Structure 1
Amino acid sequence: MNARHLDHVNLRIPADGADAARTFYGEQLGFGIEDTLHETGEKPFLDVRLSATAVVHLWPTDEFDAPTATNFDHFCVVVEEPIDTVRSRLDEVGVEIDDELAAPRGATGEAASLYVVDPFGYRIELKTRV
């Protein structure tokens, strides 16, 4: 089997978390939110559009348990902007930086990264392109 890329990630969020998800992922991080089908009840999750080929599905559920260090560390999103631009945007919109690494390893090599935590406890690495 020859894998091409990661298509999507599924994350559970609290049943009442859709508005917080829209604010954090859409307004603060600036990713596209595709939730029309969720709002009409045709789809049980919201899509956070990262690129033409990658999304994060956010599933509101009553059975939500926040991630812990024993069952989840982070997922990584490669961003086009330089790390200083990302840092400035996060500061402008009030998103706290959880950690910063000069050159962590990943699938595309080493590049500067900032880590943030979403309203549900998921840690996200925002990594510049190599």
Structure 2
Amino acid sequence: MRARHIDHVNLRIPEDGVDDAREFYGDRLGFGIEDALYAADEKPFFDVRLSATAVIHLWPTDEFAPPTATNYDHVAVVVEEPIGEIEDELKAAGVAVEKRLDSPLGATGEAPAVYVRDPFGYRVELKARV
């Protein structure tokens, strides 16, 4: 077996958190929101499109419990912009940077990254391309 990349990540969100998710992932971070099938009640989740080959499935549920340090740390997303531009975009969008690391190790090597929290407590690493 030879894996190539992560296809998707599933995250549960509060049942009433759909608008917050669209605003954070779509408006503030600038990722695509694919929710037509969800809106038509044809599937129980909607997608945050990260790239042509990667999505985050967001599952609204009344059984949501915020993530804790014992069951979740973060999902890392490689972005094309240099770290300074990423920080500028986040600041302009009103997204607080939790921390910055200049050389965390990832799947393709070391590159600067910043960490932010979504409205549901999930940490997202935005990592510059190596």
Please tell me the TM-score bracket, short chain as reference: over 0.9
Measure the CA separation in 1 of the matches of 2:22 and 2:49. Answer: 11
Measure the CA separation in 1 of the matches of 2:107 and 2:50. Answer: 17
Q: Secondary structure at the match of 1:48?
A: strand
Q: Secondary structure at the match of 2:50?
A: strand
Counterpart code for 1:99? K
Aligned residue in 1 for 2:121 = 121
> What is the CA distance between 1:60 and its match in structure 2?
0.0
> What is the CA distance between 1:43 and its match in structure 2?
1.1
Deviations 1:75-102 (A, max 9, x none): 1000000111110010001000001000
Q: Is 1:48 aligned with 2:48?
A: yes
Aligned residue in 2 for 1:76 = 76
Aligned residue in 2 for 1:32 = 32
Alignment TM-score, normalising by the size of structure 1? 0.99
Counterpart code for 2:29? L
Query: What root-mean-square deviation, in Å, do the aligned CA atoms of Structure 1 and Structure 2 show?
Result: 0.5
Unaligned runs of 5+ in 1: none
Aligned residue in 1 for 2:89 = 89
Aligned residue in 2 for 1:107 = 107
Counterpart code for 2:55? V
> What is the CA distance between 1:127 and its match in structure 2?
0.2
Alignment TM-score, normalising by the size of structure 2? 0.99
Q: Which contiguous aligned blocks of 4+ residues in structure 1 show a shift greater than 4 angstroms?
A: none
> What is the CA distance between 1:4 and its match in structure 2?
1.3
Deviations 1:20-61 (A, max 9, x none): 000000000000000011111011101000000000000000
